[in-house]
């Protein structure tokens, strides 16, 4: 009889792929390619008044925040009694090549307003990676749209340390030529860029896979994460142009000079509670570039947390389930806010004794 490790490795190609993004949900809004999902509340109802809006990156699929039942931030928050919404950015078509930063910001605003309408009050925003930076920009333009702002691995400064910054500022890198020629920027180019950040990552994953192939739970998690990592999305050309030129090359957000549809995205206008989470071994968004957020916002209630882990593992690992997820839940629970007037009127009145 073959050892379990060998047996699992031999059968890896035909092993059933785990179902990703399986937390029950309903699509409550759809527009162009993007959708707003609302996860089904726990049977006993909500424990918190303020909804949570998850804002993932445009480059990757939203279900990184709902990977597997035991690796799902969305599922965890539902179990804690939150009303959880999530943006699924979808897949842009050739007709979307002219969507720019202002268009994406309008979509984000629509998601926030629909969440507020269905959830009863402005949501706590949680942005991840590029979605976090976009949430920061939106909060700077429309601070009243969110009850609080929490971001994970979301840079504010783009000209600091980091390989991506060095590449995008190279004189040989012609963003305009790429966008003009390709329209939407193909996901293959984006994925290759991230692979080059850590050239030995695939080899390290292979070694780890062989070492832990006896563990069925590990294999399911590995296959789920690989499914997500290879389910990439192309970016609208004009958005990519702005992202590279305005953020990475000119660093306009940190300088306080970023204009979105003619309006200044001033980080000093953010006065809502703000939490910046970074990860020690993040090669995509170095911790120092993310922690600057708390220096730039005007909120009196602000904090930065640097946690162990990498850009992806920091949010999806078993360690994240024990540290990051409870941190977020407790931070929001402490800022749930007093009942609004309409909520007080709807509440059942106690009978006098």
- State the Cα–Cα distance between residues 237 and 176, nearest whole angstrom: 9
- DSSP codes, 120-151: SSPPEEEEETHHHHHHHHHHHH-GGG-SEEEE
CB 298 within 8 A of CB 171: no
What are the tens digits of pLDDT across the range 25-82?
999 999 999 999 999 999 999 999 999 999 999 999 999 999 999 899 999 999 999 9
Per the annotation, the verdict on 282 as an active-site residue is yes
Residue 88 appears among annotated catalytic residues: no
Helices 216-229, 201-212: inter-axial angle, 10-degree rounding: 160
Whether the pLDDT of residue 353 is over 70: the answer is no
From 96, 129, 220, 290, active-site residue: 129
**CA–CA distance, 249 with 150 (Å, rounded to integer):** 25
Q: Which pLDDT band holds residue 201 (cuts at 50, 70, 90)?
A: low
Contact 21, 63 (CB under 8 A): yes
CATH number 3.40.50.1820 given to 20-336 = yes
Cβ-proximal residues to 215 (8 Å cutoff; 6+ apart), any chain: none
Angle at 267 between CA 330 and CA 272, to 5 degrees: 35
On the question of pLDDT at 352 being above 50, the answer is: no
Q: What are the residue ranges spanned by the domains of the chain?
A: 20-336
- DSSP annotation of 122 reads P
The catalytic position among 96, 105, 220, 282 is 282
Which pLDDT band holds residue 161 (cuts at 50, 70, 90)? low
- Residue 128, token pair as written in the block: 């991840």
pTM confidence score: 0.90
Active site residue 216: no
Measured over the CA atoms of residue 318, residue 193, residue 284 and residue 95, the dihedral's sign is: negative
Distance, in Å, from the CA atom of 122 to the CA atom of 114, rounded to the nearest integer, reads 9
């Amino acid at each position: 009889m073959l050892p379990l490790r060998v047996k699992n490795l031999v059968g890896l190609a035909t092993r059933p792929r785990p179902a990703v993004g399986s937390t029950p949900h309903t699509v409550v809004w759809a527009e162009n390619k993007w959708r707003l999902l609302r996860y089904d509340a726990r049977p006993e109802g909500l424990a918190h008044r303020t909804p949570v809006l998850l804002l993932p990156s445009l480059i990757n699929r939203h279900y990184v925040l709902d990977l597997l039942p035991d690796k799902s931030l969305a599922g965890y928050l539902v179990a804690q009694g939150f009303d959880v919404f999530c943006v699924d950015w979808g897949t842009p078509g050739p007709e979307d090549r002219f969507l720019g930063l202002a268009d994406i910001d309008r979509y984000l605003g629509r998601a926030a307003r629909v969440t507020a309408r269905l959830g009863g009050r402005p949501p706590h925003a949680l942005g991840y990676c590029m979605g976090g930076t976009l949430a920061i920009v939106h909060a700077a333009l429309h601070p009243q749209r969110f009850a609080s702002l929490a971001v994970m691995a979301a840079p504010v400064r783009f000209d600091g340390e980091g390989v991506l910054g060095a590449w995008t500022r190279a004189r040989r890198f012609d963003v305009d030529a790429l966008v003009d020629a390709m329209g939407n920027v193909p996901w293959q180019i984006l994925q290759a860029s991230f692979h080059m950040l850590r050239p030995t990552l695939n080899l390290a994953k292979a070694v780890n896979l062989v070492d832990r192939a006896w563990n069925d739970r590990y294999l399911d998690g590995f296959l789920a994460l690989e499914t997500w990592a290879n389910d990439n999305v192309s970016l609208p050309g004009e958005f990519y142009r702005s992202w590279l030129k305005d953020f990475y090359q000119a660093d306009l957000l940190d300088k306080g000079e970023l204009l979105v549809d003619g309006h200044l995205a001033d980080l000093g206008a953010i006065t809502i509670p703000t939490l910046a989470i970074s990860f020690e071994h993040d090669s995509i968004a170095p911790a120092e570039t993310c922690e600057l957020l708390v220096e730039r916002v005007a909120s009196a209630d602000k904090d930065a947390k640097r946690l162990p882990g990498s850009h992806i593992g920091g949010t999806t690992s078993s360690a994240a389930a024990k540290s990051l997820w409870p941190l977020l839940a407790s931070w929001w629970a402490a800022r749930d806010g007093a009942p609004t007037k309409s909520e007080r009127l709807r509440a059942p009145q106690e009978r006098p004794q």
